[in-house]
Chain A
């Protein structure tokens, strides 16, 4: 297949090449021919014009000569005016003709012959002194008449005395001339002397008085003589043509074609020569209508092919070939690229498929590994519970730790794979954000205490208490980030803040970035030297936004709009911005752009020093994106990192909030409302955090920077008002504490009490970060709270310190008695096909004082339950042959609804609506498998609840309590 394709492709290519070359060649040929023809046409045109030019010129010159001879003839005839012989002699004639020779350029000479009739010959001969000669220079034989030349131009003086009538052509000429009275030409012949080809022009000279319309006889009679001139055509034309340009290129033949069948050559070579295919014929009119002349012109040589006729087509050829090559190459390239592209696509699809397969594989395999690993871990747990010696215990513990690490890694990989495979779904359940944060904090509390890092969380008041989202994933994100921070931080603090996105502008990001990068060295140094920062711990943080200035702004914002968030026009969606700030080692600049790439830690040494796989942040990023947010960070090496992410949650409606609060979170104790506390803390951010926790407990808070200020404030306050709430509690940060402080403080407070400034001694609580800080506290401190602060731990401490009794929840009083109250005297129907079950259930219910009846099938039950009946409730087995519990319930409900309709109709007619009691028998399903689907099915068919078999007291009570009112004791 592929070979065939290749071959076809090859043939195609070949055909394309051949076609291209053919086109180029044919274009070349075509253009060459075109140029040739063009050249020929041009040459012909030139030939025509040259020929015409020559013809006109010769003709003109001829005409000029003829005219002049004509004029000369007229002149001579005037000499005959009443004179015989004329008053003209040879000398005058010669002189005159010589002087006017330039007027007759084509004539080599003129001569005048007188008409002599034979009778006058002798007189004439005597007068002239010579005898008339023939052309052959012999004395003329006797003729009727003669035409001896009497005057001649010097150039032709050799013909003097020669009888013109003796030459054949001349004679004919003379006769014709005198008959017509016009100029007449001979046919070309060899002239005397020069032996050149020539023609003779003859004009008759008449005596005067000849009328215009004279007859031939009259003309002959009036003829006095003949003026003749010889045109030496050959040399004269030669001379004439020589003056013209391009003489060398063309040959010219002049023909006398009076006799059309055999043209007589007048000029030019006997055999026509030159380039035959191209010739031009021009007609010549020499003024003699009897004679016709033609001029043939042709090129002496074939007109040369111009260079352009070769070069231009060749150029075009080259261009076409080049163009063709370019097209060919482009096509080739295109084909190659297309092929490559196709291959690429294929590979891409494969790669994508592989990626998906990988993710799925990972997901599956991780899952498959997890299951047995749980077994392994469980077994290890159990093993550790058994009696082991120390070494064995050590081994087992190591194995357990490793197993746990493996499980957590697998979980992460599974998460990642699930995210990649698009299988991870985000839940939407209501949850309490603050308690989740507290939980996370408590997870890391021991580590942070060990390291002596401040770990604190702050949630803005504007953040709703309960939001709808995925608590597990949210917790995971926070845990990841805080875990990282704890891992990489040795000093300072880790601070988690949650705000609403709209009052903490994200837009400042770039400014901060540029500010960071643009920080000049000196400024940096200054910052370094300026050792305390307005941050949680006083260490510098990477993100300058988290300093007190900004924090204050956020807080003040909340002050201004304390209850704005509870207005009706809340948007459904809450966008939270969460910052996790640490003062750890930071992320090297070079590694910052691949922080979110899986399995990439800043550098390999990181994992050596700190462990971890580097998958956490990439999962975090995925999770954040799944929750509709985004994550970014600012980090400065050796200063710290601040991770900021946004998350989108839904707001809960009020009921859900109440619900969730009851069920989801361990409610914070409410016993502290209305109390007052004093915080002594020099660091604004930190005391804001403390305040936040106390506020959650409902404690009003005042802040003082130092102990002294606190005391002052206490004094002032109470001297001014004397009333008001007393601070029960004073919380003092470890920073503001020094040895001996307890005694001093105690004394001062005692003093205050004596002055009636305080009613009772406030409790003093010390806030410490590290375990060892505890040691240095004085004995007069009531208690010490270990950070990180959590509302619940604070509450527990306060309860302990204030001696508040834990308000024990009223335990449910004895179940059976309650049940007895509920069930006593009730008529209850139990339906079960299983006799044993039936018996057990019945006696169990009887035990609580109920009156029980039994039915062994749905049908029996229906017949017992025909309305009206006495039963207060009904326990129905679900799985029964013939008619199962669902069906039976449906039937019962159907019966009831029919009856209810009738009653309501009847009741309405009778008008005693108050007495109307709708029939609704509480039906409880009894089922062994308590799964959700069954439960739903129960509700669907009209049951009121379910109890599991065999009965459990608590559950039975809960189920029954919903719809059975305990009867007054008198009833039972």
Chain B
């Protein structure tokens, strides 16, 4: 009974995330990839993604803290983040990254350091915000899945 409830809860969570636009088609694709042969695929992926993202965000924060900001490095990191987020289907994070990269590019082009620096900073904050929002949901999702799996294994026993 509670397994069903858990599953429903999980489905509801995922659906709400789709509705909010936090996730996109890509996540659906990923869900399709998860089958009996690789039951923990999504969980594994999310863990990977979160670890990766947090590392990148930490790097970015460090970079932007410095007196002289190396925007090319920033750009490279944001690009990475964008890549992984789009792979996971984290739509909002991806869009935030796109925005961030735009500022980086404009910064490189225009050389109006002051304005763009703040914009970049803000963009980073947006990315962080989106990421943490997503992470919260992902955490819930993972917990739910773990519990489901635990139940399943218990039942099997």
Contacts and interface: CB of A to CB of B under 8 A. Distances in A.
Nearest to B50: A836
Task: Identify which of B45, B80, B88 gathers the most chain A CB atoms within 10 Å of its CB.
Answer: B80
B33 interface: yes
- Size class of the contact patch on chain B: 20 to 34
Interface string B63-82: 00000000000001001101
Contact of B44 (A834, A837, A839, A881): A839
Given A834-B52, A839-B48, A843-B41, A928 B33 contact: no
Interface string A830-846: 00011111011101101
Given A834-B52, A836-B45, A949 B76 contact: no
B83 A949 contact: yes
Nearest to A845: B33
Contacts of B76: 879, 881
Interface string A729-746: 000000000000000000
Contacts of B85: 836
A535 to B, nearest CB: 60
Given A847-B33, A881-B76, A836 B82 contact: no
B41 A949 contact: no
Contacts of A263: none
A840 B33 CA distance: 9
Contact of B84 (A836, A844, A847): A836
A928 B82 contact: yes
A835 B88 CA distance: 11
B116 interface: no
B84 A837 contact: yes
Contacts of A843: 30, 33, 38, 41, 45
A950 interface: yes
Task: Identify which of B26, B76, B84, B89 gathers the most chain A CB atoms within 10 Å of its CB.
Answer: B84
A834 B80 contact: yes
B140 interface: no
Interface string A819-836: 000000000000001111
B143 interface: no
B18 interface: no
Contacts of A835: 48, 52, 84
A629 B95 CA distance: 51
B49 interface: yes
A840 B79 contact: no
Interface string A856-882: 000000000000000000000001010
B33 A837 contact: no
A950 B86 contact: yes
A926 to B, nearest CB: 9
Contacts of A834: 52, 80, 83-84, 87
Contact of B29 (A844, A881, A928): A844
Interface in B69-123: 76, 79-80, 82-89
A847 B32 CA distance: 9
Per DSSP, chain A at the interface is helix
Nearest to A837: B87
Contacts of B82: 928
Contacts of B26: 840, 950
Contact of A949 (B44, B49, B52, B87): B87
Interface in A884-941: 928
Contacts of A879: 76, 79, 83
Nearest to B85: A836
A835 B76 CA distance: 15
A839 B80 CA distance: 14
Contact of B33 (A833, A844, A949): A844
Contacts of A881: 76
A39 to B, nearest CB: 97
Contacts of A833: 80
B76 to A, nearest CB: 7
A512 B72 CA distance: 72
Contacts of A949: 83, 86-87
B30 A840 contact: yes
Interface string A939-953: 000000000011000
A840 B45 contact: yes
A839 B41 CA distance: 9
Contacts of B52: 834-836
Nearest to A841: B87
Contacts of B38: 843, 846
A671 B9 CA distance: 58
A841 B45 CA distance: 11
Contacts of A841: 87
Contacts of B87: 834, 836-837, 839-841, 949-950
Interface in A46-70: none
B29 A839 contact: no
Query: Which 6 A-B pairs give the minimum distances between C-beta atoms?
Result: A836-B84, A840-B87, A837-B87, A836-B49, A843-B33, A834-B83
Given A839-B48, A847-B33, 13 more contacts: A833-B80, A834-B87, A836-B45, A836-B48, A836-B52, A839-B44, A840-B88, A843-B38, A846-B33, A881-B76, A928-B83, A928-B86, A950-B29
18 contacts: A834-B83, A835-B84, A836-B45, A836-B52, A837-B87, A839-B48, A839-B87, A840-B26, A840-B88, A843-B30, A843-B33, A844-B33, A846-B38, A847-B32, A928-B82, A949-B86, A950-B29, A950-B86
Interface of A: 833-837, 839-841, 843-844, 846-847, 879, 881, 928, 949-950
